[in-house]
Amino acid sequence: MIPTLKGNMLIAQSGGPTAVINRSLVGAIQEAKRHKEIQGIYGARHGIKGLLDENIIDLRRESAANLAAVAATPSAALGSVRKKPTQEECRRIFDVLRKYNVHYLFYIGGNDSAETTQIIADEAIKLNYEFRCFHIPKTIDNDLLENDHTPGFGSAAKFVACAVLGSSLDNSALPGVTIDVIMGRHAGFLAASAALARVCPDDGPHLIYLPERPFDLAQYLNDVKRVYDRLGRCVVVVSEGISDAAGTAIATKFSSEKDSHGNIQLSGTGALGDLLANEIRSKAGITRVRADTFGYLQRSFPGLVSETDAREAQTVGKLAARWSVGKAPSGSVAIRRSPGKKYAVFFECVPLAAVAKATRHMPEEFINKEGNDVTQAFLDYARPIVGPLPKVARLRGVRVPRLG
């Protein structure tokens, strides 16, 4: 138990948006309203940027109906930011917190945001400022330490699985090589989720390349040729972050060769997909090669959420608010999976330092030996988080006997 602390609360969102980040926002607001220790409920626009600029809104002025509608809306309703505070900004943050009598801070984001939360929490201790400071997890990359999985991942994974399901059906209608480039700079969970699209043994994706294993162009070419020779088609899924044995991202490696492309980012550009397509076109003698880069659609597509993800996102928001009042001065809400066959989770309060900065990767047992697919263990892990996909069917296709 911690001492009672009266004051206003401030909540903000940070990092890449997700389809369910507003569920966490609304979950925290709803729970905060139930605790009389929490007085004003404020939101900062665009994360700590709004805090520094005093761009603050009054979340008690939002109707319950509008909050429910916002919860079901993808992307960050308060606006987001990618920013770590400097020492000077940290002091400025506490000037603002003091001025607005804010003693409860909630920051929704990934590992960078957890680090920001930790910096602010540490500063409060140094300043002897009475403070509750919680990180609320979200990231489509699913790369937070301490968590079985993270809010936002399940819905993004559902988008990816649906998209690759369609992509594979499209590729079987007009055969060739299709390359689908999926978000994920360091962790391959999202690209791996494409495997959920398989229904029949010959369904795509036929090959999956992840940032956790070195990407070798020669192996990739051989893999694609082998699948193409067998099936007459091939659907390849790659993480945008695939890197060579030295750890250099493939997307950036090729950039010197093509200056008209300018600065190559990993997301928001089709460069990696085009490069991988050209490799096949020029070296495997296959003419119909197409690359699609799913881009920001993966994290912001409306009307397509995993129910499990939506529910858990709301819960982590609620729990952060609840725990800040009675349980701990600071922390992050971690999702753990209960042992046993049936899917169930529980939540734990973990120190900010435990989730800040570092990145979780796909464990070894989720990746096959050849490094070009996932294992059954991954499918068992991911399926309940993502939930059911749309049902698809093929024709039975009984051949009419060839007439003489």
Footprint on residues 81-110 left by a second copy (CB under 8 A): 81-82, 99-100
The alpha-carbon radius of gyration of the chain (Å, integer) is 23
Question: What residues from 286 to 305 belong to the interface with a second copy (CB under 8 A)?
Answer: 289-297, 299-304
Mapped onto helix, strand or coil, the DSSP state of residue 295 is coil
> Which x/- pattern, by CB under 8 A, does the window 192-231 give for a second copy?
----------------------------------------
Largest CA distance in the chain: 93
Position 390, amino acid = P
Candidates 53, 58, 122, 141; catalytic one: 141
Element (H, E) at 349: strand 345-350
- Locate all alpha helices (DSSP H) within 232-269, ordered by sequence: 250-253
Q: Taking CB under 8 A as the rule, does residue 282 contact a second copy? A: yes
Q: Taking CB under 8 A as the rule, does residue 396 contact a second copy? A: yes
Nearer to a second copy, 237 or 335 (CB): 237
Residue 320's nearest CA partner among 26, 20, 5 is 26
Distances (CA, A) of 158 to 184, 201, 236: 15, 20, 18
Q: Which of 3, 36, 63, 87 binds a second copy (CB under 8 A)?
A: 63
The single-letter DSSP state of residue 332 is: E
Q: Taking CB under 8 A as the rule, does residue 57 contact a second copy? A: yes
Q: Taking CB under 8 A as the rule, does residue 17 contact a second copy? A: yes
Q: Taking CB under 8 A as the rule, does residue 232 contact a second copy? A: no
Question: What residues from 238 to 257 belong to the interface with a second copy (CB under 8 A)?
Answer: 254, 257
Cα dihedral sign, 318-186-382-338: negative
| Span interacting with a second copy, options 77-85, 138-146, 185-193, 353-361, rule CB under 8 A | 77-85
> Which x/- pattern, by CB under 8 A, does the window 327-366 give for a second copy?
----------------------------------------
- Locate all alpha helices (DSSP H) within 174-253, ordered by sequence: 189-192, 217-231, 250-253
Nearer to a second copy, 294 or 323 (CB): 294
Q: Please say if 141 is a catalytic residue.
A: yes
Q: Taking CB under 8 A as the rule, does residue 59 contact a second copy? A: yes
Residue 209's nearest CA partner among 190, 248, 236 is 236
Q: Taking CB under 8 A as the rule, does residue 162 contact a second copy? A: yes
> Two tokens at 251?
């997307």
| Span interacting with a second copy, options 80-88, 148-156, 221-229, 355-363, rule CB under 8 A | 80-88
Nearer to a second copy, 175 or 371 (CB): 175
Question: What residues from 371 to 390 belong to the interface with a second copy (CB under 8 A)?
Answer: 389-390
Please enumerate in sequence order all residues whose Cβ is within 8 A of that of 258, keeping only pairs 6 or more positions apart, or say none: 271
Position 33, amino acid = K
Nearer to a second copy, 35 or 290 (CB): 290
Nearer to a second copy, 150 or 330 (CB): 150
Please tell me the distance from the alpha carbon of residue 379 to that of residue 219, in angstroms, as a whole number. 24
Q: Which of 116, 142, 267, 372 binds a second copy (CB under 8 A)?
A: 267
Q: Taking CB under 8 A as the rule, does residue 397 contact a second copy? A: yes
Q: Which of 270, 351, 371, 384 binds a second copy (CB under 8 A)?
A: 270
Backbone φ and ψ for 258, nearest 5 degrees, come out as -140, 75
Please tell me the distance from the alpha carbon of residue 348 to that of residue 147, in angstroms, as a whole number. 9
> Two tokens at 339?
């042992």
> Known catalytic residues?
141
